[in-house]
A and B are shown apart, each in its own frame.
Chain A
């Protein structure tokens, strides 16, 4: 009778998954809500902003949702897994920057294209890459399965291509010099560069443009038509273009929130112009940049800089009223005909810089003096027009030095520059004697239509002038001599110690936008899966081991024992990831069952086979006389196993079972392949957001290690207790 119970139990464990599939299958609420899968490590198309799915794909779909009234929900999965998920109906459709290709059209239907893509090269900044020929034959790092990977094959030999799972690894390859360059979609490349100023996009490839579309299973016609029609409509009315422009305006940067969740942002048009606007330490520095940054902080806006040519600043302002021009721009009456200007934050005027004891006290004496100027500068033009005798130098500092050493009698330069020179040359002083030059005000340029923006920014500017902030910024640049290398007033990077920088990284990876939640949620899921799988594995494993052992002892139960042996052999003979994919996409193909539960079942089945072998060896380690003694008392085989053999076997195999638990917890890290947000996937998502490849990995490594150590401690304690018991 007990044998029957055991046999029933065994069968139950084998068929439970099937049964659950049947009862939990086709949910009924699926009519109003559709599930879209996306891989959120593909900025700017798909990424997490905080815990919100963000990016061009996501926002176009949000717009489609609003248009059609369909409730679209997003779910993350690995890029490689989404195609399978769509064809197996694990989700309703996929949106993760899928390039429309003939090959993919064999298995899925594509919507109309919503975005045009060009392949570009990303490599270290400042390299001499001007044409496709410059990257031919080099070592390239690409993401598996992307068009970039395909195009790389035409550029270099297969052995020179490193295939990576995600972009974080690729960026690391580039920074560490493992690869010379990456071939990638243009916007994605720009997103990477936004997070890594040491990299640069080189737009040199001659690849054909490509198009992105959403993917649907072939037989999902009704939904396909609804979504596709809506997409066409949104393309025609400009919504799609607006969304893409929004991300482009934000430089495809990773810290761009959803189009539908826009935050106030100052968009700045600027160009290289020391000391007003330039890059230092990968940071926008200069007087203009810092004043605008101070304003953005004051009014709680984000700030974005867009580099263009100086002449294009005015052109763009005419068509783009949301921008502000800032690059040491003079406020002149001619310009005021087309633009409006903020209050001046600083003004300048040509002055004379002369030794303190100099006799140059009036403009009239300059005719007889030898004057230092800077080539091509305002001062050069002025001296030229007056016919003065000049020596031309390349920098203001050189001009001042010549005056100080007596080579020249005086120098002509802007007052701000002159002030800076006095820092190094206390023997010099400013003589404001040039009566025929104008005071020139610097200001920020606005489109005349941008009245609202103008008022907000100008009010803040006035406030910062009044409270001394702007004076502080100006004094900072003056003190540092207005050089190109002067870092931003707000850039405290250069003074930071290694630990400060590490802390900054830590803050960005884990504290900003509560990113640590990816790890805590991931850890919770990892633990859930591990515990459920462990319990299941122990039950299945013990039952299978008992069936096999008892069949060997009694010669009965040949069929169940054969089933168990096949199960053990198959599971131990195949990789756990393959089992997971088969169970999720094939066995549970038509089930809406929770992925965590499916993962637990998969890992439980996997673990069961290993536990079975361990338990079997444990059973064999118990002397035969124990079973005989138990049976001689009238106990059934099953009861003898349970009461006499297993308790002793478990003591013998506890270390081995502990090892199984330890390897199981680490194996669950592949659950990401079916879209489960476990610990490793959580770290991947953080890495996809911050493009910080290493720190999240180190942190989860520490977390895994900590769990394993705790587990080891518990097992040791249990062993001790069992060993002391008898």
Chain B
């Protein structure tokens, strides 16, 4: 089997500037199917900007992003279609407050014609059981804890059966005692071979779940490797410095 067929994302020389401020300074990365990649790094180094570029919430300034072999930055691409094939989980959950948990989950599949109402309803019930919240189907987000909300946000993304899941600090906004339930869910996804890129500050989690860990610094990938390499044998002084602060 040729290697290319196994590639989910192929990112080449990706840059992003906000005005004069170049936030990403040339990122190269290949993500394979089923691979779990964690991104760590100090605040403001461009981690969020990077994954937002992948799902086109930000428009990269230059470079290429091949998704399943197709350049998603070319003009003739339907951005909405690309986004529908990726899932994104935000630090602040961003559930739709005017919809119940189940409606949040069902919205995209139904509106985008991926499923009819009955199918979407069954799928939502299945996902709600999977995340352990079958009894919260008709509850509005404001009545749910942070951890519950984040799990529903994950289920909402999963409902579209994404080919890749992007997480931007999914547990940063949670009370410490709620972090575990969300991480367990993500671990569960990893075990089921979901391709994932996870921006996180949970080093233990990154070490446990990742196939590869990227260390971002000032718009570059400063260092990358297996969890054992990154955490056990950091080479760059910046990474050593960073790890000494967070661990």
Which residues of A come within 8 Å of B, CB atoms?
623, 625-626, 628-636, 639, 643-644, 647-648, 651, 725-726
Task: Tell me the smallest distance from the CB of A2 to a CB of chain B, in Å.
Answer: 9
Contact A633 B90 (CB under 8 A): no
Contact B87 A632 (CB under 8 A): yes
Contact A633 B157 (CB under 8 A): yes
Of A633, A644, A725, A726, the residue contacting B84 (CB under 8 A) is A633
Residue of B nearest to A622 (CB): B97
Of A625, A635, A647, A726, the residue contacting B90 (CB under 8 A) is A625
Task: Tell me the smallest distance from the CB of A279 to a CB of chain B, in Å.
Answer: 73
Contact A634 B90 (CB under 8 A): no
Contact A632 B88 (CB under 8 A): yes
| Tally of A-B Cβ pairs under 8 angstroms | 66
Q: What are the interface flags for B65-104 relative to A under an 8 Å C-beta threshold, 1 for contact and 0 otherwise? A: 0000000000000001101111110101011111100000
Q: How far is the CA of A643 from the CA of B111 in the complex (A)?
A: 10
A to B CB contacts below 8 Å, 9 in the list: A625-B94, A628-B90, A629-B95, A629-B96, A634-B85, A635-B111, A643-B111, A726-B98, A726-B142
Q: How far is the CA of A467 from the CA of B108 in the complex (A)?
A: 91
What chain A residues lie within 8 Å of B157 (beta carbons)?
Answer: 632-633
Contact B57 A631 (CB under 8 A): yes
Q: How far is the CA of A623 from the CA of B90 in the complex (A)?
A: 13
Q: How far is the CA of A651 from the CA of B140 in the complex (A)?
A: 16
Of B83, B87, B99, the residue contacting A631 (CB under 8 A) is B83
Of B81, B97, B112, B153, the residue contacting A648 (CB under 8 A) is B97
Task: Tell me the smallest distance from the CB of A652 to a CB of chain B, in Å.
Answer: 11
What chain A residues lie within 8 Å of B87 (beta carbons)?
Answer: 632
Task: Tell me the smallest distance from the CB of A433 to a CB of chain B, in Å.
Answer: 106
What chain A residues lie within 8 Å of B111 (beta carbons)?
Answer: 635, 639, 643
Task: Tell me the smallest distance from the CB of B166 to a CB of chain A, in Å.
Answer: 8
> Most chain-B Cβ atoms within 10 A of its Cβ — which of A623, A628, A634, A636?
A634
Of A633, A643, A644, A648, the residue contacting B83 (CB under 8 A) is A633
Contact A643 B94 (CB under 8 A): no
What chain A residues lie within 8 Å of B83 (beta carbons)?
Answer: 631-634
Residue of B nearest to A636 (CB): B80
Q: How far is the CA of A644 from the CA of B112 in the complex (A)?
A: 14
What chain A residues lie within 8 Å of B32 (beta carbons)?
Answer: none
- In this assembly, does B124 line the interface, its C-beta being within 8 Å of a C-beta of chain A? no
Residue of B nearest to A637 (CB): B80
Contact A634 B94 (CB under 8 A): no
Task: Tell me the smallest distance from the CB of A537 to a CB of chain B, in Å.
Answer: 23
Contact A647 B98 (CB under 8 A): yes
- In this assembly, does B55 line the interface, its C-beta being within 8 Å of a C-beta of chain A? yes
Interface size class of B (residues with CB under 8 A): 20 to 34
Q: How far is the CA of A631 from the CA of B55 in the complex (A)?
A: 9
> Most chain-B Cβ atoms within 10 A of its Cβ — which of A623, A631, A647?
A631
Task: Tell me the smallest distance from the CB of B159 to a CB of chain A, in Å.
Answer: 8
Q: How far is the CA of A274 from the CA of B96 in the complex (A)?
A: 89
- In this assembly, does B107 line the interface, its C-beta being within 8 Å of a C-beta of chain A? yes
Q: How far is the CA of A459 from the CA of B196 in the complex (A)?
A: 111
Task: Tell me the smallest distance from the CB of B205 to a CB of chain A, in Å.
Answer: 22
What chain B residues lie within 8 Å of A629 (beta carbons)?
Answer: 88, 90, 94-96, 153
What chain A residues lie within 8 Å of B107 (beta carbons)?
Answer: 633, 635, 643
Q: How far is the CA of A636 from the CA of B113 in the complex (A)?
A: 13
Of A635, A647, A651, A725, the residue contacting B108 (CB under 8 A) is A635
Task: Tell me the smallest distance from the CB of B98 to a CB of chain A, in Å.
Answer: 5
Contact A628 B57 (CB under 8 A): yes
Known: A630-B96, A648-B98. 16 other contacts (CB 8 A): A626-B94, A626-B96, A628-B57, A628-B94, A629-B90, A629-B96, A631-B83, A632-B57, A632-B87, A632-B88, A633-B108, A633-B157, A634-B81, A634-B108, A634-B112, A644-B96
Contact B80 A634 (CB under 8 A): yes
Of B55, B97, B98, B99, the residue contacting A632 (CB under 8 A) is B55
What chain B residues lie within 8 Å of A623 (beta carbons)?
Answer: 94
What chain B residues lie within 8 Å of A630 (beta carbons)?
Answer: 96
Q: How far is the CA of A581 from the CA of B188 in the complex (A)?
A: 68
Residue of B nearest to A634 (CB): B84
Q: How far is the CA of A619 from the CA of B113 in the complex (A)?
A: 26
Q: How far is the CA of A644 from the CA of B94 in the complex (A)?
A: 11
Task: Tell me the smallest distance from the CB of A631 to a CB of chain B, in Å.
Answer: 6
Task: Tell me the smallest distance from the CB of B53 to a CB of chain A, in Å.
Answer: 13
Q: How far is the CA of A83 from the CA of B177 in the complex (A)?
A: 79
